[in-house]
Amino acid sequence: MATLSDDDIEKLFSGAPQYFARSEGHYTGAPHPSVAFPWDESLEIRDLTDHVQIEDAAWSCITAWPHITRDMNSNPVALKCAKERKRAHFYPRCRERPNMLSMQGLEKGTMGYQAALEIPVGDVLQEEQFGFDSLGSKAKAIVEQRQRLLASKDGLRRLEESSILDQLIKNGQRYKENKIHRNISHTLYNELFLGILHPPTRVVDHQDPYSLSVQIQALVKVLAAPNVWIDFSHVEWRIRLGQILWGSFEGDDLETEVDIDDAETNEERKEERYWLLLQVLLSCELLIRLDAITEGEELGIESIRPAEIHRFEKNANQSVKWSLHLARAWLENIQIVEAKVDPANVGQKRNSGGWLASLTGKMSLHHTSNHASSAEGLSIYTIQGRYSERQVIGLTNFAKKLRWPDIESDIYAEQISETVNKVSEATPIHTPAETPLSIDTSRSSYFGGGRAEASVTRHPSGKHKISAALHPSGWLSKSYVSGLMLPGEGLYHLIMSTLLENDKEAMSRLGPMANLCGGFVYRGKSFWSTACIVGRVLAAGKGSAQCMGWISSDITPRGHVDGWLNIEVAEVSADMKKTGRQARLWGKTHIERESCVLGDADPNSVLPADFIIPYENNYAEHPPSLNIELLSLNLFAPIDSVRTTPTEETVFTPLSDMTRASDIHTYPASVSFSVGSLGGGTQEHNFSLLNDIHFVTAHPCAPSSHVKVLRSPSSPTIQQIDVDGSGFGGKSSSPATVTGHPLHKCFTYTVIHLSELLEKADASLEDLLQNTTSVRRPSLTPVTNTTPRALVIDCITGITRQAPTQETPTSPILERTANGASLAAAKMHLESRRRQFGSDMEILVRALCAEKGWNAIISRRRRGCLACAIREAGALGWKVIIRVD
């Protein structure tokens, strides 16, 4: 038997995804996982992904990874934003983990390969930032360090607030104009060291003392100073960014896993707002210089030495790099305008003009100049979102994709405009906006018992709790409308909060407190965060919808009316042990070796007999046909409750006639099904959603239509492979056309039909892998008594399919043409295409996995072959593959 050449191997595995994990360099943290098609040049194949593309420019802030949104050709606002970004930019080697592009898999309720590997090393697992346990006054060490920084003659100058805002205005204009010239370094040097920082006490660069590199070093030194600035590498501070700018010290509470107290007074809030604006200024100054040196090098008017790059990467810690993300978000989305007004007229004028006008209204910072005469009046620095219209369109699209009640009605916008008007109200820095809640200065928190009574724990899986107080003029809406949002999951929480805050009926029915990592029932539908296991399971149903971290379903908990819900769920013990430095992602070699297309074979002596063609329907006896119907989603007696309003001092809102305190209860959940077989009886099965598991969409593949194989009737291995169409021994090989990629025989697996799995409900995963019955045949194992690596759950053979709502598009496997093109690549990202899939059977198998605690790959036959799914399971270190049609 002749060995396969390198060219044969490349043709054989053309269109097969290969799984990698590679480090990006020093000081960049855990390796970066990726999927590639190294042996394909066709863009239609190389562009295949396991996740959906971001569809709206308003949601672009969710990731720091370069990307293009799908509305580029249809949305003029998105096109305008993209054109303004078409220039050289500095991209810090620091991005959110997990990669938010990969968090929404092609299958609803799933994620992609990259996100699955990054969650165990995610940003949410970081320890709390020392000294930053309050939105107000900081720990003594923080205060002292800030005083030392201001007192130093080799660092930061003392700046008035008006000076900070004036310089931010100048930076915004400079960023928009983007005029790079040969004397830019001298101009920036004078601005920096005459107005913001003290000049260096010694010459740093003898060749060019005024260089951009010198300025960058000085700014990095200040921003990297410990115990001074907010570290936005911490997820909770990314979410709270808008709370510092626009929140009030009453009624704007946010409760997360990290115990951060509210400010006790307005003065404390004003001081922290000042330090945040100062951090924004310094970050913008740094980013403008990094952009200038990047673009200058491209234009040939600037250069930077490798040693300087190395020094920057070493000195610019995670906090500095996340401050650069903050600067980019600010410069791209925010503009500040100064205006002189008569103090007597401030606050008398209200915006009116409906939903769009109110959402795109201005948010202001009032500042009275000490040097201005009374005739000059009051200076108002108005914060305006540059692309408020874009954000409003994005909010509407979010509601439409989730099939929000009445979203298609013309009356809906008019109803929302009545409550959203407060978003446009000014938020003066010296006099924070009065909360719409009744102010009671004896309370320091909107939560009745305060945070001391809340049970808060940081979960190794990265799951956490986010509870927020909602009201129409809240900082949550202002954060979203302004566009000032940092990469990460924050957008998930902000966009849903904005939708709720500006829907008067939803606020009156659901109440002012939101559990943004749970779910709620509203007007005959249920809505779930993808952080909740119920949402990830129900997403597999027909007619469900998913958008920006939220899932909607027509399935509602039995006996529950409108209101918020929290679900009791347990961590998977095996997953808890594999977080941080123990995460699988650090094992780069294991990931690539255990998913290699050549398995454990010697690359120099690869034989056709080393491979098999795996199938899910390899049975000695045909399994029974099943008819599966979902009966109910059940929530049992609550095990505890999270108090959402005080019991002793009930707080009323202008949104409803709420006369009693409301609770968000925590419920154990289960799903009930009726399962019937052809010619047999019907049984009821109930699965408890006990474990916080994850589902991953198997990466799409596109096997070549040219490759043909010849198998022996007595052996599952391949005898011969024809990669060039010459045939076997001069004979036509058309009967042996490959419909999937080959699999190396070291990737052992076993298939179990769903009917058999239901009969063995009490069996462990190890038992199912080791003990095969006569009904199903185990895969080839290279060594006697070797346990199969993967369990493939066959949900295709004999399963009665529900009638599709529209014609299912053909598979990329079948659509690949002779020149290697695939028409399915473009279809793969469309949300509408994803809605056609789903059934009660798919909900059942996900619910079963949740009860067992099995993370699982969802492999759809119409999208990818079984061999590639088995290899991906090897890369992830997972053992369960759900094979659906």
Show contacts of 197-200: CB within 8 Å, 24+ apart: 197/155, 197/156, 197/157, 197/222, 198/152, 198/153, 198/154, 198/155, 198/156, 198/157, 200/154
Cα distances (Å, whole numbers) of residue 13 to 4, 18, 520, 719, 741: 12, 9, 46, 17, 7
pLDDT computed for residue 49 by the predictor? 96
**Nearest Cα residue to 461 out of 115, 64, 823:** 115
Residue 546 sits at φ, ψ, to 5 deg, of -140, 140
Residue 790 sits at φ, ψ, to 5 deg, of -130, 145
With a cut of 60, say whether residue 369 has pLDDT above it: no
| Stretch among 221-225, 668-672, 831-835 having the lowest mean pLDDT | 831-835
Q: What is the mean pLDDT of residues 689-696?
A: 97
Q: What is the mean pLDDT of residues 491-516?
A: 93
Q: Which residue has the higher pLDDT, 71 or 282?
A: 282
Q: Two tokens at 639?
A: 């095990």
3-state class of 152 per DSSP?
coil
pLDDT computed for residue 603 by the predictor? 86
Which residues, at least 6 apart from 716, have a Cβ–Cβ distance to it below 8 Å?
Answer: 612, 779, 780
| pTM value > 0.85 | yes
Cα distances (Å, whole numbers) of residue 188 to 166, 278, 304: 15, 18, 17
pLDDT band at 408 (very low <50, low <70, confident <90, very high): confident
Q: Two tokens at 390?
A: 């874009």
How confident is the model over 626-676, as pLDDT tens digits? Answer: 999 999 999 998 876 554 433 333 333 333 333 334 578 999 999 999 999
With a cut of 50, say whether residue 439 has pLDDT above it: no
DSSP string, 52-116: PPP--GGGGGG-SS----GGGGT-HHHHHHHHHT-S-----S---SS-GGGSSBSSTT-B-HHHH
**Nearest Cα residue to 251 out of 276, 269, 271:** 269
Which residues, at least 6 apart from 78, have a Cβ–Cβ distance to it below 8 Å?
Answer: 56, 57, 69, 71, 72, 390
**Nearest Cα residue to 16 out of 787, 492, 702:** 702
pLDDT computed for residue 260 by the predictor? 73
Most confident of 69-73, 300-304, 712-716: 69-73
Half-sphere exposure of 205 (CA within 13 A, CB side): 16
pLDDT computed for residue 773 by the predictor? 62
CB 642 within 8 A of CB 256: no
pLDDT band at 346 (very low <50, low <70, confident <90, very high): low
pLDDT band at 777 (very low <50, low <70, confident <90, very high): low
pLDDT band at 438 (very low <50, low <70, confident <90, very high): very low
Most confident of 246-255, 775-784, 802-811: 246-255
How confident is the model over 321-336, as pLDDT tens digits? Answer: 999 999 999 999 999 9
pLDDT band at 709 (very low <50, low <70, confident <90, very high): confident
- What stretches of 666-797 show up as alpha helix (H) in DSSP? 754-759, 765-770
Q: What is the mean pLDDT of residues 34-38?
A: 96
| Stretch among 213-217, 461-465, 592-596, 706-710 having the lowest mean pLDDT | 461-465
pLDDT band at 153 (very low <50, low <70, confident <90, very high): confident
Report the phi/psi class of residue 148: left, alpha or beta, with left for phi > 0 and alpha for psi in -120 to 50.
alpha
How confident is the model over 132-144, as pLDDT tens digits? Answer: 987 878 889 999 9
> In the chain, what percentage of residues exceed pLDDT 90?
50
With a cut of 70, say whether residue 416 has pLDDT above it: no
With a cut of 70, say whether residue 253 has pLDDT above it: no
With a cut of 90, say whether residue 78 has pLDDT above it: no
pLDDT computed for residue 552 by the predictor? 98
Distance CA 31, CA 200 (A): 37
How confident is the model over 844-870, as pLDDT tens digits? Answer: 999 999 999 999 999 999 899 999 999
With a cut of 50, say whether residue 372 has pLDDT above it: no
Q: Two tokens at 186?
A: 């001298």
With a cut of 50, say whether residue 526 has pLDDT above it: yes
Around Cβ 604, how many Cβ atoms within 10 Å? 7
pLDDT computed for residue 68 by the predictor? 87
Query: Do the strands 708-711 and 880-884 form a parallel or antiparallel pair, or are they unpaired?
Result: unpaired
Distance CA 342, CA 233 (A): 41
Count the residues in the chain.
885
Which residues, at least 6 apart from 209, have a Cβ–Cβ distance to it below 8 Å?
Answer: 203
Where are the domains positioned within the chain? 336-567, 591-624+693-884, 626-688
Q: Which residue has the higher pLDDT, 298 or 763?
A: 763
pLDDT band at 453 (very low <50, low <70, confident <90, very high): very low
Mean pLDDT of the chain: 81
With a cut of 90, say whether residue 238 has pLDDT above it: yes
pLDDT computed for residue 417 by the predictor? 47
